[in-house]
Structure formats: C-alpha cells, structure tokens
C-alpha cells in the first residue's frame, strides 16, 4: 500500500499554536509558520473521508516550484522546505479574502453564468458564452475566507473596501500581484502545453509588507486545460478535459453531492483514487518538467516529524 498522510499530531519546541485546515496542518511559531501538506482532499468546502496518496507532496512541491519562479516579481512567505510535504514561511497576518482570477468561464463561474448571473465583480459578461470559453480578458472575482465547514462567498471589490476588510492600498497591491502571478503562471503553463484557466491567491501582511502566502498554481487552487486540443474541442462543443481538482468536483456532482445539507459524500473506489493520484502527478511533471519522486518510506509520519525536528534544531540555535 502507498503511504498516506491523513493528519499530523506533532509537538515541537517553541511551538505556539496548531491549526488543522482542509488540507494543511499548520504549526505556528513566533515568527514562522510550518505547514504540512497532507493527503486530504476537499471539495465544496467539505473534507472528503478518503485521501489521495502523495497528493500533499504534489501540492507542496508544485507550490514551491511556482513560488521560486515568481519570487522576483511578487514577494512570498516561503523560507524553507525541510521535507517534500512541508513548507516553512514567514508568519503573516492573512487578508480575510481570496483573490480569484479567471481567464476562462469555468467551474463555479460557469455554474453561476448558467443560472443567469452576468455581473461578476462589475465585469459584465455577454450573453451566449459557453462553458470553458475564453474571456475577453482575465477578471478578478474575490471571495471571503470562510471558516472550516462553511462556504467561501463571492464579494465585490466595493464591498471589501466598504466593509474595510482590506485597506485600499493593500487591495490595490493584491490585485496587481494577482495579475502578475496569473501572467507568469499562464506563460509557464503555455510553455508546457497547458492553459491556466483560473486560480486563486492568498496574501498576508508582515511588518507592513504584503506577501503571497499558502499555495500557488496547484491542482487544488487552479484549473488547467490541454493547450493543443483546446480550440478544436471548444469548436465542436465537446467537454474539455479538466486538469485539476475539478475532476473530483464533477464526479461529486454526478454522484449528487455539492456540499449541501442532507447530501451524503459518495465513496471513491480504489480505481478512482488511483486515477486522481495519477492526474495530480502527471500535472506536476508536465508543469515542472521534472520527474515526480514519491516519498514511499514505510513510516512517513515519523520521517516527516524527524525532518522537521532536524530543521528546527538547526534554525533555533
């Protein structure tokens, strides 16, 4: 059996707090955060009961790849990665919003468009668009950051500023960084035969400076299409293959689950779990041009804990 990291329960010297997110377990220190990317998978803001082997490693390593690729233009929180499932970064105060940017009409935006919505954060989309159509230009549609078990909600820029969730200066900078990150991500994806359809970014503040935090351009936080076949498939009105967690969302929808009250999470077969795992790894290799080397140590949790402890011992002296 492949190793699974479902959750962690470590205790470290000088650790101040612990938080379990949908996918990441977060350990807080005085000036740093340490995140362990687990193999949990969530959809519709619900953590699914089954895990995807090596998913956390893919997310962590792909996010590090893109943070390194964008660091010269957008400062980020990343300091170190003592294990393939672990990222250590600056302890920032997160902005209470997520910056969603869309280059294509896909996912929740398409579902809203189908239901008659045309105003997306003051961007008015025309009638007659089809699922996955390219938009005239990328649009930013922020969301609130919901507590675990709750749904993120779309929120207009004017409401963010009216409610003083973010200062005008930080919001303007976050929007500028969002466009820069999306441009770089789009270029890297295109160079490797992919289309970055949409994604989201999170930002935080430390000592008055804005940083990109959390993850970037992973299958959990972004949607990709295959570049070569896209125009032909779209012209025929056929379904575009999804290169992201959207494959899981679509499977859940087909099995009558969208995170609503009273709905029951369907059980994933071993074959379906293996297919999801293979797609995550394939996307990592295509985007990075690097062979994925899965961490298959028999006792992965012990290995992760030891790697973190060695890192902390070296940096806390």
And the tokens for 23?
A: 């996918």
Interacting residues of 109 by C-beta distance below 8 A, sequence separation 6+: 102, 120, 141, 198
pLDDT per residue as tens, the chain (317 positions): 899 999 999 999 899 999 999 999 999 999 999 999 999 999 998 999 999 999 999 999 999 999 999 999 999 999 999 999 999 999 999 999 999 999 999 989 999 999 999 999 999 999 999 999 999 999 999 999 865 545 678 999 999 999 999 999 999 999 999 999 999 999 999 999 999 999 999 999 999 999 999 999 999 999 999 999 999 999 999 999 989 998 999 899 999 999 999 999 999 999 999 999 999 999 999 999 999 999 999 899 999 999 999 999 999 76
In 192-280, the DSSP E strands lie at 194-206, 209-213, 222-226
Burial class (CB in 10 A: 0-12, 13-18, 19+), 177: buried
Question: How far is residue 27's CA from residue 11's CA, in Å, rounded to a whole number?
Answer: 9
Burial class (CB in 10 A: 0-12, 13-18, 19+), 119: exposed
pLDDT at position 149: 47
Classify 216 in phi/psi space as left (phi over 0), alpha (psi -120 to 50) or beta. beta
Signed CA dihedral, 238, 242, 243, 247: sign only: negative
pTM above 0.85, yes or no: yes
Q: Is the separation of the CB atoms in 171 and 67 below 8 Å?
A: no
And the tokens for 225?
A: 């299409």
Q: Which of 174, 184, 179 is nearest to 210 (CA)?
A: 174
Question: How far is residue 305's CA from residue 297's CA, in Å, rounded to a whole number?
Answer: 13
Question: How far is residue 81's CA from residue 36's CA, in Å, rounded to a whole number?
Answer: 10
Its CATH architecture, for the domain 94-248, is 2-Layer Sandwich (3.30)
Burial class (CB in 10 A: 0-12, 13-18, 19+), 100: buried
How many CA atoms does the CB half-sphere of 15 hold within 13 Å?
A: 16
Q: Is the separation of the CB atoms in 243 and 194 below 8 Å?
A: yes
């Amino acid at each position: 059996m492949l190793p699974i990291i479902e959750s962690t329960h470590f205790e470290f010297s000088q650790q101040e707090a612990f938080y379990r997110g949908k996918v990441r377990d977060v350990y807080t220190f005085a000036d740093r955060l340490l995140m362990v990317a687990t193999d949990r998978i969530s959809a519709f803001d619900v953590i699914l009961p089954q895990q995807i082997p090596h998913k956390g490693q893919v997310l962590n390593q792909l996010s590090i790849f893109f943070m390194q690729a964008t660091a010269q233009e957008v400062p980020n929180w990343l300091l170190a990665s003592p294990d393939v499932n672990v990222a250590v970064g600056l302890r920032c105060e997160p902005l209470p919003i997520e910056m969603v940017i869309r280059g294509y009409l896909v996912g929740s935006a398409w579902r809203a468009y189908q239901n008659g919505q045309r105003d997306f954060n003051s961007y008015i989309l025309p009638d007659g668009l089809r699922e996955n159509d390219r938009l005239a230009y990328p649009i930013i549609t922020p969301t609130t950051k919901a507590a675990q078990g709750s749904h993120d909600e779309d929120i207009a820029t004017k409401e963010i500023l009216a409610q003083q969730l973010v200062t005008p200066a930080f919001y303007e900078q976050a929007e500028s960084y969002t466009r820069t990150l999306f441009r770089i991500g789009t270029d890297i994806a295109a160079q490797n035969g992919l289309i970055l359809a949409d994604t989201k970014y999170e930002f935080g503040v430390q000592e008055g400076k804005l940083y990109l935090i959390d993850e970037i351009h992973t299958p959990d936080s972004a949607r990709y299409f295959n570049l070569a076949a896209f125009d032909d498939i779209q012209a025929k009105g056929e379904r575009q293959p999804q290169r992201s967690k959207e494959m899981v969302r679509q499977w859940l929808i087909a099995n009558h689950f969208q995170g609503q009250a009273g709905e029951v999470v369907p059980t994933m077969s071993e074959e379906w779990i293996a297919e999801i795992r293979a797609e995550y790894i394939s996307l990592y290799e295509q985007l990075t041009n690097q062979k994925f080397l899965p961490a298959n140590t028999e006792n992965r949790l012990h290995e992760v804990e030891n790697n973190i402890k060695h890192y902390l011992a070296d940096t806390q002296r």
